[in-house]
């Protein structure tokens, strides 16, 4: 069975719609995956995540290996059963921790040696070990272990990471896996066009089911990120899914889709919900601001989420200021609903071949709200 099939392309851009087949359901693309690194999308039950429009979430092999352990999860029936999620699961390999926990890591050809951020124990995460963990978890899509260089880095450092990532990918695909599991490679190369092409070509030569773009949104300019996306997409086979890792402001999703990407994940909607940053069709709402203390209206009058249908901005501000956990949950539900609606709108626009109009209207609405551009200093991508 092929993991991916295309069924519509935009005539005005590289945007496309497809179907990603998993043993736990079919995912319409382009799709966003909420992050559930520890086996949970923070604060929400699986049914609530599904109600927001999502059919696939992301887990993290590194975190689940350290706690509670992949052997325990496997003994409990795998990650799907353990967390009672019946949709698709993509598990990250742990490669990003090379960057985020750099002071605890040591990289060799064998793998990544690291000290647990929980108790200081020393572990070695090899390509084979990372795959074995993900096999035990039972995820639908497994990411190969990659070497993600920091930003900024030299061209020499980026080249070393590219070459090691390719060698690790070759080792990863040799690990036996369950019949339902797909394996994606990760294109590295920093902000160097030639290295991104080299990385993509090296991975294409390996029997991989899909491709991801890693090492972006680490501090580079947005224009550089978009250039790297365009460079890599030109190299990748169109019949395989393309996944942008860890990038996820609303405009990033729109622009990623415009450039031919199919899958996205990011902590932004859930993390920002916990800090009181709410997404709306006209920009952001910082719910802690005093201007909302007596505001009887919903966060977004055009939003159909259960939060906007029931609660006022004044009440949400009260919950946030009072540090009530209900406020965090409601904010998270609203933000995920916004993201789910955005992706649904993008898919529908592509199917109806009006993506260009959707994209223009997305920015027009945001520009009309001064908070969305002038306060944030955001640029509208071309």
Residues marked active site are found at 92, 265
Measure Cα distances from 282 to 59, 194, 249, 307 in Å.
31, 38, 14, 17
Cβ-count burial of 2 within 10 angstroms (0-12 exposed, 13-18 middle, 19+ buried)? exposed
Contacting residues for 53 by C-beta, under 8 A, at least 6 apart: 336, 337, 340, 341, 343, 344
């Amino acid at each position: 069975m092929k993991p991916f099939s295309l069924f519509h392309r935009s005539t005005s851009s590289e945007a496309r719609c497809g179907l990603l087949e998993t043993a736990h359901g079919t995912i319409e693309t382009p799709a966003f995956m909420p992050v559930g690194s520890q086996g949970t999308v923070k604060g929400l039950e699986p049914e609530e995540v599904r109600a927001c429009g999502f059919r696939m979430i992301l887990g993290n092999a590194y975190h689940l290996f350290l706690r509670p352990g992949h052997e325990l999860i496997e003994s409990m029936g795998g990650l799907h059963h353990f967390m009672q999620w019946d949709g698709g699961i993509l598990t990250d390999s742990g490669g990003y921790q090379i960057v985020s926990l750099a002071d605890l890591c040591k990289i060799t050809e064998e793998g990544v040696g690291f000290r647990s951020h929980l108790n200081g124990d020393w572990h070695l995460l090899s390509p084979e070990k990372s795959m074995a963990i993900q096999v035990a978890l039972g995820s639908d899509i497994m990411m190969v272990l990659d070497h993600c260089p920091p930003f900024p880095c030299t061209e020499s450092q980026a080249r070393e990471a590219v070459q090691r990532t390719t060698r690790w990918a070759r080792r990863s695909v040799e690990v036996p896996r369950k019949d339902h599991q797909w394996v994606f490679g990760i294109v590295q190369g920093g902000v160097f066009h030639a290295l991104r092409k080299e990385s993509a070509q090296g991975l294409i030569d390996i029997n991989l089911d899909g491709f991801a773009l890693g090492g972006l949104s680490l501090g580079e300019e947005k224009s550089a990120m978009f250039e790297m996306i365009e460079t890599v997409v030109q190299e990748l086979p169109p019949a395989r899914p393309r996944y942008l890792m860890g990038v996820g402001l609303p405009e990033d999703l729109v622009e990623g889709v415009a450039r031919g990407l199919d899958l996205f994940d990011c902590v932004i909607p859930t993390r920002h919900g916990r800090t009181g940053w709410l997404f709306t069709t006209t920009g952001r709402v910082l719910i802690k601001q005093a201007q909302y203390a007596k505001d009887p209206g919903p966060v977004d009058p055009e939003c159909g989420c259960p939060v906007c249908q029931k609660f006022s901005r004044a009440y949400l501000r009260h919950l946030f200021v009072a540090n009530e956990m209900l406020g965090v949950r409601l904010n998270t539900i609203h933000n995920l609903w916004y993201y789910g609606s955005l992706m649904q709108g993008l898919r529908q626009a592509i199917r109806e071949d009006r993506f260009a109009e959707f994209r223009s209207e997305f920015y027009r609405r945001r520009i009309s709200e001064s908070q969305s551009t002038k306060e944030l200093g955001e640029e509208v991508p071309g």
